[in-house]
Chain A
Amino acid sequence: MAAVTTPHTGHHEPDPTESYLGGETGIKSWIFTLDHKRIGVMYLISVTIAFLMGGVFALLVRTEHLSHGRTIMDADTYNRMFSLHGVVMVFLFIIPSIPAAMGNIILPIQLGTKDVAFPRLNLMSLYIYIIGACFGLYSMVHGGVDTGWTFYTPYSSSDPAHGGVGTPAAVLPMTLAAFIMGFSSILTGVNFIATVHKMRAPGLTWRRLPLFIWALYATSIIQVLATPVLAITLLLLTMERFLGLGIFDPHLGGDPVLYQHFFWFYSHPAVYIMIVPGMGVVSEIIATFARREVVGYMFVAMSSLGLALVGFLVWGHHLFVAGMSEYAAMVFSALTFLVAIPSGVKVFNWVATLYKGSISLESPMLWGLGFIFLFTIGGLTGLFLGMLAVDVHLHDTYFVVAHFHYVMVGGTVMGFVGGLHYWWPKFTGKMYDEKMARVGFAFVFVGFNVTFLTQFVIGSRGMPRRYYNYLPEYELGHQISTIGSYLLGLGFFVLLVMFIQSLRNGKPAPRNPWGSAALEWQTPSPPPLYNFITDPIITRGPYDYHLATEAELDEGWAELDARLAAPKKAHVDHDKPHAHGTSLSGDDATAAKLDADAEAGKDTTADPDGKMDDADPDAKPEKKSDDSDDGEKD
Chain B
Amino acid sequence: MSTEATPATDAHDDHGHGAPDAPAAGHGHAHPKWLAHHFDTPAQQFDTAKLGMWAFLIQELLFFSGLFVCYGIYRSWYPHMFVESSHQLNKLMGGANTIVLLFSSLTAALAVRSSQTGNKQATSRFLIITMLCACAFLVIKFFEYRHKFETGCLPGPYFHPHELSHGATLPGNAHIFYSIYFMMTGVHGVHVLIGIGVIFWVWRRNERGDFSKEYFTPVDLVALYWHLVDLVWIYLFPLLYLI
Instruction: Answer whether A and B are interacting partners.
Output: yes
Chain A residues proximal to chain B, CB less than 8 Å: 1, 3-10, 113-115, 117-119, 121, 162, 186, 189-191, 193-195, 197-199, 224-229, 231-233, 235-236, 239-240, 243-247, 252-255, 258, 262, 530, 605, 607-614, 617
Known: A5-B36, A228-B65, A617-B26. 13 other contacts (CB 8 A): A3-B53, A8-B31, A8-B35, A190-B56, A199-B48, A224-B59, A225-B59, A228-B63, A232-B66, A240-B156, A610-B38, A612-B27, A617-B25
Q: Does B94 lie at the interface of the complex (its beta carbon under 8 Å from any beta carbon of A)?
A: no
- Judging by beta carbons under 8 Å apart, are A4 and B221 in contact? yes
The majority secondary structure among interface residues of chain B is helix
> A128 → chain B, closest Cβ, in Å?
14
- Judging by beta carbons under 8 Å apart, are A225 and B58 in contact? yes
Most buried by B among A4, A119, A193, A605: A4
The interface on chain B, measured as residues whose beta carbon lies within 8 A of the other chain's beta carbons, has a size of 58
Known: A194-B51, A232-B64. A1 touches B176 (CB 8 A): no
- Judging by beta carbons under 8 Å apart, are B176 and A609 in contact? no
CA distance A439 to B108 in the complex (A): 62
What B residues does A253 contact at CB under 8 A?
Answer: 173, 175-176
CA distance A244 to B176 in the complex (A): 10
Q: Does B80 lie at the interface of the complex (its beta carbon under 8 Å from any beta carbon of A)?
A: no
Partner of A229, one of B35, B48, B66: B66
Q: Does B110 lie at the interface of the complex (its beta carbon under 8 Å from any beta carbon of A)?
A: no
Task: Find residues 28-75 in chain B having any chain A CB closer than 8 Å to their own CB.
Answer: 29, 31-41, 44-45, 47-49, 51-53, 55-56, 58-60, 62-67, 69-70, 73-74
Known: A197-B51, A228-B59. A1 touches B157 (CB 8 A): no
Q: Does B97 lie at the interface of the complex (its beta carbon under 8 Å from any beta carbon of A)?
A: no
- Judging by beta carbons under 8 Å apart, are A605 and B40 in contact? yes
B127-135, B179-187, B228-236 - interface stretch: B179-187
What A residues does B32 contact at CB under 8 A?
Answer: 8
Q: Which 10 A-B pairs have the closest CB atoms?
A: A244-B156, A232-B66, A617-B26, A228-B63, A114-B38, A613-B25, A608-B40, A194-B52, A6-B36, A198-B48
Partner of B62, one of A195, A199, A225, A608: A225
CA distance A227 to B210 in the complex (A): 34
Partner of A607, one of B29, B69, B73, B180: B29
Q: Does B149 lie at the interface of the complex (its beta carbon under 8 Å from any beta carbon of A)?
A: no
CA distance A8 to B55 in the complex (A): 24
> A420 → chain B, closest Cβ, in Å?
26
> A441 → chain B, closest Cβ, in Å?
37
Known: A244-B156, A247-B180. A190 touches B55 (CB 8 A): yes
CA distance A3 to B221 in the complex (A): 9
Task: Name 6 A/B residue pairs within 8 A (Cβ), A-sorted.
Answer: A113-B38, A189-B59, A225-B59, A246-B175, A246-B179, A613-B27
The majority secondary structure among interface residues of chain A is helix
**A162's closest neighbor in chain B, by CB?**
B157
CA distance A239 to B25 in the complex (A): 55
- Judging by beta carbons under 8 Å apart, are A245 and B183 in contact? yes
- Judging by beta carbons under 8 Å apart, are A3 and B52 in contact? yes
What B residues does A5 contact at CB under 8 A?
Answer: 34, 36, 45, 49, 217-218
CA distance A505 to B74 in the complex (A): 63
CA distance A129 to B51 in the complex (A): 23
CA distance A252 to B198 in the complex (A): 38
Q: Does B82 lie at the interface of the complex (its beta carbon under 8 Å from any beta carbon of A)?
A: no
Partner of A246, one of B44, B49, B66, B176: B176
Known: A162-B157, A228-B63, A246-B155. A119 touches B221 (CB 8 A): no
Known: A1-B198, A224-B59, A228-B63. A613 touches B26 (CB 8 A): yes
- Judging by beta carbons under 8 Å apart, are A252 and B156 in contact? yes
What A residues does B180 contact at CB under 8 A?
Answer: 247
> B19 → chain A, closest Cβ, in Å?
15
Q: Does B101 lie at the interface of the complex (its beta carbon under 8 Å from any beta carbon of A)?
A: no
> B79 → chain A, closest Cβ, in Å?
15
> A289 → chain B, closest Cβ, in Å?
32
Task: Find residues 152-194 in chain B having any chain A CB closer than 8 Å to their own CB.
Answer: 155-158, 173, 175-176, 179-180, 183, 187, 194
